[in-house]
């Protein structure tokens, strides 16, 4: 549905995007994730044809954005960063105005505007001036603007920034709903948000694409899920030797020595092997008492930080 091919964007000496490529399939909700200044808005501005890349190409539903922008843009609804302009229009006037820009047929205009207002939960405030609406409603107005013209693709730049927790929940569920019949790309610098809403995550940092995968695959790939913390009483210091002799154990590290004489070790294994059973049996055989054993509870947040760190190296 969307193909970004070797996009580079330079602003003078600043490289905002550096040879970024990815594909997004129809119907996916994809999160563009990265810290501030990573290049998220630049990527979105290029996909929507709002700015041109220095190098590279973008295809929307097979149509080349650079060669055929008018046609390519017809498939896209774009919600830019920040609050909507046109504060002096009412919500309904704004959506109607957008419908004019998107050349929605006069015949069906009223009905379509009303549908979008309904869909985005703006019915109760449709006749209020945008500038008098709460931040959450302003965001809905922006979203409504993006929905005009029935685009197949929705591009939402930081849709939850500046919202309170309740508004965030509401906007997220609206995005999920819209994701049922649209391809959606949203940007965020909040990892948990992206992993909650999105089927796929694209991580960018300093203009470079670092990873593209499902949230759960990213978690599995980047973290050693086979790491086990074990706290033992091991007066004769036999543990390291015993555990190193177990098949599929990669590494044993002493983490802490506790005041009560117990020690905590971190044992990491090869992919896909849960080592708890065999560790338990081996240590029991040697009369090493296990006080605690748990799988490493590293999170996607850590995976993200790790990826960003690695990708940030020049």
Q: Interface with ligand ADP by CB under 6 A: which residues?
A: 11, 14, 16, 34, 36-42
* Residue 85 structure tokens: 């302009």
Nearer to ligand ADP, 104 or 185 (CB): 185
* Cα→Cα distances 187→1, 40, 190, 285, Å: 18, 6, 9, 53
Compute the least distance from the CB of residue 312 to Mg ion, in Å.
18
Residues 209-228 that bind Mg ion (CB under 5 A): none
Strand 200-205 versus strand 183-188 pairing type: unpaired
Q: Are 195 and 54 in contact (CB under 8 A)?
A: no
41 binds Mg ion (CB under 5 A): yes
DSSP code per residue over 34-70? --TTSSHHHHHHHHTTSS--SEEEEEETTEETTTSHH
Nearer to ligand ADP, 36 or 236 (CB): 36
**Which regions of 75-207 does DSSP assign to beta strands (E)?**
76-79, 153-156, 183-188, 200-205
Q: Are 5 and 59 in contact (CB under 8 A)?
A: yes
* Cα–Cα distance for residue pair 201/213, rounded to 1 Å: 6
**Which three-class secondary structure state does DSSP give residue 65?**
coil
Compute the least distance from the CB of residue 33 to Mg ion, in Å.
12
Tokens 């500046």 belong to residue: 162
Which one of Mg ion, ligand ADP, none is in contact with 32 (Cβ closer than 5 to 8 A by kind)? none
Nearer to Mg ion, 33 or 153 (CB): 33
Which one of Mg ion, ligand ADP, none is in contact with 39 (Cβ closer than 5 to 8 A by kind)? ligand ADP
Which one of Mg ion, ligand ADP, none is in contact with 225 (Cβ closer than 5 to 8 A by kind)? none
126 binds Mg ion (CB under 5 A): no
Compute the least distance from the CB of residue 300 to ligand ADP, in Å.
19
Compute the least distance from the CB of residue 53 to Mg ion, in Å.
16
* Cα–Cα distance for residue pair 10/282, rounded to 1 Å: 58
Residue count, binding to Mg ion (CB under 5 A): 2
Compute the least distance from the CB of residue 42 to Mg ion, in Å.
8
Compute the least distance from the CB of residue 40 to Mg ion, in Å.
5
Nearer to ligand ADP, 18 or 28 (CB): 18
Question: Which residue has the closest beta carbon to Mg ion?
Answer: 41
The footprint of Mg ion (CB under 5 A) covers 40-41
């Amino acid at each position: 549905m969307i193909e970004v091919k070797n996009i580079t964007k330079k602003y003078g000496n600043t490289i905002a995007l550096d040879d970024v490529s990815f594909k997004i399939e129809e119907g996916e909700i994809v999160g563009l994730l990265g810290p501030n200044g990573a290049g998220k808005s630049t990527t979105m501005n290029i996909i929507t044809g709002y700015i041109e890349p220095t190098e590279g190409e973008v295809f929307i539903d097979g149509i080349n954005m650079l060669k055929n922008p008018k046609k390519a843009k017809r498939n896209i609804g774009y919600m830019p960063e920040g609050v909507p302009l046109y504060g002096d229009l009412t919500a309904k006037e704004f959506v109607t105005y957008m419908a004019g820009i998107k050349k929605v047929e006069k015949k069906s205009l009223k009905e379509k505007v009303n549908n979008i207002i309904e869909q985005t939960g703006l019915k109760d405030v449709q006749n209020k001036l945008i500038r008098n609406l709460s931040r959450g409603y302003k965001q809905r107005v922006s979203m409504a603007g993006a929905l005009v013209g029935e685009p197949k693709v929705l591009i939402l730049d930081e849709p939850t920034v500046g919202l309170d927790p309740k508004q965030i929940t509401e906007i997220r569920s609206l995005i999920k709903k819209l994701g049922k019949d649209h391809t959606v790309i949203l940007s965020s610098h909040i990892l948990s948000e992206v992993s909650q809403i999105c089927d796929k995550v694209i991580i960018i940092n300093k203009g470079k694409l670092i990873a593209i995968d499902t949230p759960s695959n990213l978690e599995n790939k980047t973290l050693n899920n086979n790491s086990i913390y074990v706290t033992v009483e091991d007066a004769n210091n036999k543990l390291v030797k015993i555990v190193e002799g177990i098949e599929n154990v990669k590494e044993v590290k002493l983490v802490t020595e506790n005041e009560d004489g117990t020690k905590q070790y971190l044992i990491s294994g090869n992919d896909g092997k849960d080592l708890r059973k065999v560790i338990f049996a081996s240590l029991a055989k040697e009369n090493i008492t296990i006080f605690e054993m748990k799988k490493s509870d590293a999170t996607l947040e850590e995976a993200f930080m790790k990826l960003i760190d690695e990708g940030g190296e020049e």
